[in-house]
Structure 1
């Protein structure tokens, strides 16, 4: 079955996950970086249409295949769209060998106790059922940690695992993403608190239940290495967090068992005005750099 093959790929295959899930407030900035100014479109529909064109260009590029890009996280509108006359999730899996995920969160609450929790997600069960029907393998939801607040971080992790339970009931794999901001003054301390809270929640999961973790590249290398061997964790992936490509890859390479799930670091050098050859070559260079940072790591030193 496709689901079992996808699971095997996400568990064991070398490669990384492309995050193609810019939405709402982040879309104009991503388009401007790509070379499509706000004056080129009018209203949300035209804006998202421009973003879809960019994503299609990436997904159809020669380098964007499961040989190195083992998964892709989609914005909901992208999931519902088409590539070459085929629904995006089935195109990714059947034509490119890339496992599809979908971003499900609807933004963040105002900061409280040093964190921003997920806003309520109305109609989540309907979205999850639609995603499963379209052949999507899993989901992603992002919360934000701005400082080392034990109560705040505990609340964020608890909420993430509660929503993950709802996701799992639809047969989908939840990616839990409590992002620690790279500019946080006490980032290392926040990450240690986060590690311990996640460990508690993982140990409490029932037998047979698994999640994926998407985490900021930690200040202390290999902080999350134990999660890569945890029986309740399918994969540990890293967000680029605003680091430029070379910085993100350099930091990632210090963390054994952790693979990339980059967004900005993957697409930052792509431009709308590039020829197809220039575009494909630029994307291929980024894919190769991120792939190598994800897989070429020596075994960790003995304790």
Structure 2
């Protein structure tokens, strides 16, 4: 009998009692789970080997090349079968734990998870697990980023592109407004923003449900989105030391959860970010990430079509 839903409930119960893990997303099959893992690049992935909608071994194989991601298999079968455990380790599993371990001693279970991650040199604890056909990512807020903010490696090239494309302003443009309106509707988020960041200002080029037109750059959550080059998700800003004191979190408009995707030109230069935000803690589904990625690509193409003017 497949007990994935029971394990999911047990896992969520155990996670709810810990401060170092928070659920933020889900998906439905191997390909979607693998894509989400590759986008978010968590430190730790926990995979239930036998699930109703997701083949754990197939997922492990799909992400075996992600050497920096600690992959944990949870299965009573592997715990009792040395040959199976050997095969899973050869396929990239850092550890194989029994489901009964989670039931009998959850603290020891997570200690073993963290020990496996430590062997790979992980410092922050990010978690992305797949149970019952769902995938979850969480993180432990760390000290990194509390001083200042991250900057993209191609910062100067990025700034020249924003200046040349005349994007450093909050002048409304219908093509962008149609996109933010669409994203807000299909993701069911109350707020969607398209932002462009210059040297010291975040310009909100288009927005739904947000009255602010610009912010100082050091308040821009989108700094993290444009710096890491992939989807950036924070389930609870107030619980993350990077953002807990941000005026946009502590005062109006009180941003609590965030999901963003960078806007890239055809040559890979990141010029902006498309994001959705809410004033409550909420999970982020693969549907939301897919919509952000797809519409961010469209914004990138629209920007590519604009003339590049001399600075």
TM-score (norm 1): 0.28
TM-score (norm 2): 0.28
